[in-house]
Chains A and B, each alone.
Chain A
């Protein structure tokens, strides 16, 4: 039994297909054909399988493999759309099958907004190769030249004779043909696209809205048992003893045991496992667990201690990461200078589906049903931790209730594996929300002591940043996602620039959160640029356009990384300004703020319009986002990603902060780590500047601009400059 690969999503209910053309395409899935396991079809010679990505049966069922993990970023829909485009098939009739981890489809991960750029050409070629073979099969059938044949919506057409055959009718013949070199197969001209750029609803939507078993937490296997896992609240702490006998006597509890674990903070951490006959039995037993932990690591690790250390460090000099021009001379001759301390806090990803995993140890290996964003490294981690051969580990990739970078780490996989290896049954591990809030690879906080100068002509002339960040048990190298590129804006765009860095040693595990690095840095850079624009008496949009300068490609320092295309950035800034009514008068207490940021190859600008009441109540009224990520794959999904980035960015900027006391996370659930409620959501205008650059991803680049655009708008509305997040910590009252 394999719940993940069973096409539950398409079977037994009406399927909602393409939204293209405003239509609402309903088609009834064919029960018998789809109900069969994929593996049983593969070996049949009648089936056309020119690559792992495409399967066409003589009955006309076209199946496209969705290769990457789906976490809500939409790749289960958008990547198959790329195949369908070149295959020239009607997307609404195609069956989408989620791939497990395999070795013949290229890298399978959900991170870095890489799914689109890494797979665009690969998947186009897969579709085009299949189409070429179907054309060849038709040419052979009719004894005509391939040049006389065209395709449309899953049929090969011979216009001269008026004949046509469906892909299904051609499948068995096509299956006998040699597979051509995909590099020689003609790809469509973009003007011929019918699927790409259209609005297509998520392929799992019908399953989502009817509550079908779909997510990691929904996996169910015969004889399955349920597990919870308690780890030391102090990061890195070990178990000394626990009341295991008492726990084992509780109703429904099958087993309770200590897992020694490893010292790898991203791996199997020490803790106490509870195995029970239901999730609730495991959770309620966990609440009665009494563990004596070794908490020696906790001393001195609190948010207050970190802030005090940061203040001390910022007063001194840090390690110099970059120095251009003569910063001190520029400050000496400046017309205006500004000095400010910026801060952004630690954050948790808070995926709505908590971490967890299902596993079944049998036959010397383990089968997983995992929501990992990095299943390959997850498999490696399990293999290395338990000394198991990789080929004995099978990974089914299951839809995740949100990722945002949390599931780039695979701690839940080694935890469930440790339990599964002891339990002679399939086991589902579910974290409580409290586990999830406390044990994370947190977005690291950052402190920036800034000085900036504008010259007599009102241009940004010098910038000094002493960046105080964190090292994991280190004051020498930044912790994961805690570093800063010496190319970060405005480096490379002003003559006099200095970046210094100091590190606070921490025990807090850190890691990537949506647009890592950028998600904090954009707030600082775009906020301080705004301060300097106002100091210079300049319009914030004009000041930014001037900073970017002429349209050109600005290379990365040392040639590593991607160049910065100022023309593309200026294009989205101008578009956002135009669409937002930048410069038009607003009532007292309202203001607009602008920000731009380049990350993950995406150029994004945002204008926010907010109102702040004299009592200090913030209302975000409207947000305009302009984005250039090249051509759009799925317009509906792309807009959804930007809209979601805005809401996510608002939650982050407005409310969210993780703090630590005595080496442990203070926050525990959504009452003290809020998400934006429906009534606080602004109207959002989404605009794509679809340049002819190669298409790139959209999961991340829309997120970093949100906090600075909102905070700059708050300043415009009421004169209160937000230099420390979240906004709720600031007093916005004015008169």
Chain B
């Protein structure tokens, strides 16, 4: 066991863990942030996507020892003041079925929109290609990302 200094959702946290513990389980079990989901444990499904210094990352593949010093954002910290446009669009388009993958989808989409405020369909498909949805909400995910992008553009030009 060793102590690790993490910055999660803007808050400094010290956690005791084995160095190979994936950040996913630190978030879920140690820090009680269950929004980041376990789906595959091998970086295949995207359910555990977080932002690591702003970039989307699979937290099931990141040892806690490698997470020290980075700015880590989870779905719980994505928009602490209320829903962000993606979360609103997800509700407006009633995207979820079971909902299990959706936090990961939103985290990936949020990183996409930060880099590409006006993404093409192909860019949306590519960015979210690694986020699996077992229920098949694909067409609604696409529509919600586009709606959120539009809203962000309107806000930017307002």
Chain B residues with CB under 8 A of A19 = 92, 94
Q: Does A266 contact B (CB under 8 A)?
A: no
Chain B, range 73-87, C-beta contacts under 8 Å to A: 74-76, 82-83, 86-87
A251 x B1 contact (CB < 8 A): yes
Chain B residues with CB under 8 A of A251 = 1, 18
Give min CB distance, A674 to chain B, whole Å. Answer: 8
Q: Does B153 contact A (CB under 8 A)?
A: no
Chain A residues with CB under 8 A of B30 = 278
Chain A, range 402-439, C-beta contacts under 8 Å to B: 402-404, 430, 432-433
Among B47, B94, B101, B135, the residue within 8 A (CB) of A201 is B94
Chain B, range 123-137, C-beta contacts under 8 Å to A: 124-126, 128-137
A679 to B124, CA, bound (A): 8
Name the residue on B nearest A215 (C-beta): B100
Give min CB distance, A404 to chain B, whole Å. Answer: 8
Chain B, range 31-73, C-beta contacts under 8 Å to A: 32-42, 44-45, 47
A214 to B83, CA, bound (A): 18
Interface mask (A1-40 → B, CB under 8 Å = 1, otherwise 0): 0000000000001101001000010000000000000000
Give min CB distance, A247 to chain B, whole Å. Answer: 15
A643 x B94 contact (CB < 8 A): no
Q: Does A72 contact B (CB under 8 A)?
A: yes
Contacts A210-B83, A279-B38, A352-B39 given: A202-B94 contact, CB under 8 Å? yes
B20 x A402 contact (CB < 8 A): no
Q: Does B155 contact A (CB under 8 A)?
A: no
Q: Does A283 contact B (CB under 8 A)?
A: yes
A400 x B94 contact (CB < 8 A): no
Contacts A251-B18, A647-B138, A669-B40 given: A677-B94 contact, CB under 8 Å? no
A651 to B132, CA, bound (A): 11
B21 x A433 contact (CB < 8 A): no
B96 x A211 contact (CB < 8 A): no
A670 x B132 contact (CB < 8 A): yes
Name the residue on B nearest A278 (C-beta): B29
A205 x B131 contact (CB < 8 A): no
Contacts A16-B91, A402-B98, A679-B129 given: A211-B75 contact, CB under 8 Å? yes
Give min CB distance, A10 to chain B, whole Å. Answer: 14
Q: Does B141 contact A (CB under 8 A)?
A: yes
A280 x B18 contact (CB < 8 A): yes
Q: Does B103 contact A (CB under 8 A)?
A: yes
A252 to B18, CA, bound (A): 9
Q: Count residues of A near B (Cβ-Cβ below 8 Å).
A: 72
Q: Does B156 contact A (CB under 8 A)?
A: no
Q: Does B114 contact A (CB under 8 A)?
A: no
A280 x B100 contact (CB < 8 A): no
Among B37, B42, B82, B137, the residue within 8 A (CB) of A401 is B37
A215 to B131, CA, bound (A): 19
Interface mask (A676-688 → B, CB under 8 Å = 1, otherwise 0): 1111010110000
A351 to B129, CA, bound (A): 18
B94 x A72 contact (CB < 8 A): no
Name the residue on B nearest A280 (C-beta): B25
Q: Does A502 contact B (CB under 8 A)?
A: no
Q: Does A399 contact B (CB under 8 A)?
A: yes
Give min CB distance, B99 to chain A, whole Å. Answer: 4
Chain B residues with CB under 8 A of A217 = 34, 37-38
11 further contact pairs, Cβ within 8 A, besides A14-B82, A677-B130: A72-B100, A205-B99, A209-B87, A211-B76, A215-B37, A351-B98, A353-B100, A402-B98, A432-B41, A678-B142, A683-B139
Interface residues of B (CB under 8 A from A): 1, 17-18, 20-22, 25, 28-30, 32-42, 44-45, 47, 74-76, 82-83, 86-88, 90-92, 94-103, 106, 122, 124-126, 128-142
Interface pairs (17), CB distance under 8 Å: A13-B82, A72-B97, A74-B97, A211-B35, A211-B75, A351-B98, A354-B38, A403-B98, A644-B137, A647-B135, A647-B139, A675-B132, A678-B128, A678-B129, A678-B131, A681-B138, A681-B142
Interface residues of A (CB under 8 A from B): 13-14, 16, 19, 24, 71-74, 199-202, 204-206, 208-215, 217-218, 220, 226, 251-252, 278-281, 283-284, 350-354, 399-404, 430, 432-433, 636-637, 640-641, 643-648, 651, 669-671, 675-679, 681, 683-684
Which 5 A-B pairs rank lowest in CB-CB distance, beginning with the nearest?
A: A211-B35, A647-B136, A72-B98, A401-B100, A211-B75
